[in-house]
Amino acid sequence: MSERFLVTGGSRLSGEVSVGGAKNSVLKLMAAALLAEGTTEITNCPDILDVPLMADVLRGLGCEVELAGDVVRIATPAEPKYHADFAAVRQFRASVCVLGPLVARCRQAVVALPGGDAIGSRPLDMHQSGLRLLGAHSTIEHGCVVARADDLHGANIRLAFPSVGATENILMAAVLAKGETVIDNAAREPEIVDLCNMLVQMGAKVGGAGSSTLTIQGVRRLEPTSHRVIGDRIVAATWGIAASMTRGDVRVRGVNPKHLGLVLDKLSSAGAEVTPETDGFRVVQRARPRAVNFATLPYPGFPTDLQPMAIGLATIADGTSMITENVFEARFRFVEEMIRLGADARTDGHHAVVRGISQLSSAPVWSSDIRAGAGLVLAGLVSEGVTEVHDVYHIDRGYPRFVENLQALGGGIERVGTEPTDAR
């Protein structure tokens, strides 16, 4: 029997919680280690399953990887292998971020296609067209994306959409290409800035990090480095939204509050007292949250990864909220599960209209992805009775010690089913 969470509604979250390194950064930083022969050390790694899974992908490419607490050491050989097979990548989509580094280092890459998932189809066309402009020949063959380049050269690349993954793959190929590459309409997420910072430490020449134009002067070789992963803004914001929903008082540490500017503004609009601090923020919500509208957009817009939590907040807010999903086409599927909890919610295309009610009512619900699962747990915390959240392995992929952290804040949650497995 797979594990599930029993969430008892009615508690008010209070206390302090620390977040670890960002999931969406650490995996790309691990892939970037492929770019330099020698040992790269990454610290503040989160204790989530995707880290050892990525370690396996890198081992399959010839690296030696050591995981010790929150430190990952990757020893990259002079000549990495260039084939990341399906067995290694099928378990998590982010493994596709080895594509750019492999093309750069080996001048060829064969990376199995991970396929779509619960939030949308997730094509790789922009990754491929960017690599083509850098001089690679890229096709899809036998379920793999294949890229080969006799010569990688700089290019002007304008992305049709500021895709996080495409920006990362093109950037990691361009750092070892000949000449200058300009990526226009690049993604500006803090995790991209984190990657740029690590690449610069390795000797890459990258300008414009955090803006929508990245300028890269290719260099002949990079050196290994030591780098600390930025704090996970999505996990941090999850706790902030949970504080607001439960009328709680929570201090979150380990994250740069500037990475959550718009999210914290939205919580203020919902009536929370939000105090940014040097290494985090505090959210105090004294009365029922007010309804707020949300539209997900690439950074610095409202993160699509927090849309399920925004829906959770809207379900019990005073008033009607309009939530617009602009990034992933299928990301409203989990709303059916919210409706099981009594939410007054309706979706139409990429819009959801949610009329807040004063309390949800517990029911069994199923997680379909990491963030939907977390959103359902938050909804369980404000439901009358005990909500059973199933398929919680999704939540464990993105949230280290999720249950323990919520319990420490006074949340009524326990894990039942088979014994928890150690992710390392």
Told to check if 11 binds ligand UD1 by CB under 6 A, we report: no
Instruction: Count CB-CB contacts under 10 A for residue 150.
Output: 9
- Tokens 């938050």 label which residue? 378
* Between 128 and 246, CB nearer to ligand UD1: 128
Nearest distance from C-beta of residue 33 to ligand UD1, angstroms = 16
Q: Which stretch binds ligand UD1 (CB under 6 A): 59-67, 73-81, 116-124, 242-250?
A: 116-124
Given CA atoms 353, 355, 360, 363 in this order, what sign does their dihedral have? negative
| Closest alpha carbon to 238 in 289, 177, 308 | 308
Kindly state whether residue 95 participates in binding ligand UD1, applying the rule CB under 6 A.
no
Binding mask 75-94 for ligand UD1 (x = CB under 6 A): -------------------x
Closest to 400 in 3D by CA, of 364, 417, 424: 424
Q: Which of 56, 117, 184, 318 is catalytic?
A: 117
Distance between CA atoms of residues 330 and 269, nearest Å: 27
Q: How many residues bind ligand UD1 (CB under 6 A)?
A: 19
Residue in 95, 225, 246, 304 binding ligand UD1, rule: CB under 6 A: 304
Whether 279 is a known active-site residue: answer: no
Residue 161 interacting with ligand UD1 (CB under 6 A): yes
Query: Can you name the residues that pair with 42 across neighbouring β-strands?
Result: 72, 227
CB contact set of 419 (below 8 Å; sequence gap of 6+): none
Using DSSP, state whether 170 is helix, strand or coil: helix
Is 93 annotated as belonging to a binding site? yes
Distance CA 239, CA 18 (A): 10
Q: Is 24 in the site for ligand UD1 (CB under 6 A)?
A: yes
Nearest to 64 by CA among 77, 52, 54, 51: 77
Least distance in Å: CB of 165 to ligand UD1? Answer: 3
With CB under 6 A as the contact rule, the residue among 13, 103, 166, 267 that binds ligand UD1 is 166
Question: Binding site for phosphoenolpyruvate, residues?
Answer: 23-24
Interface residues with ligand UD1 (CB under 6 A) are 24, 27, 94, 120, 122-127, 161, 163-166, 304-305, 327-328
Q: Which residues are catalytic?
A: 117
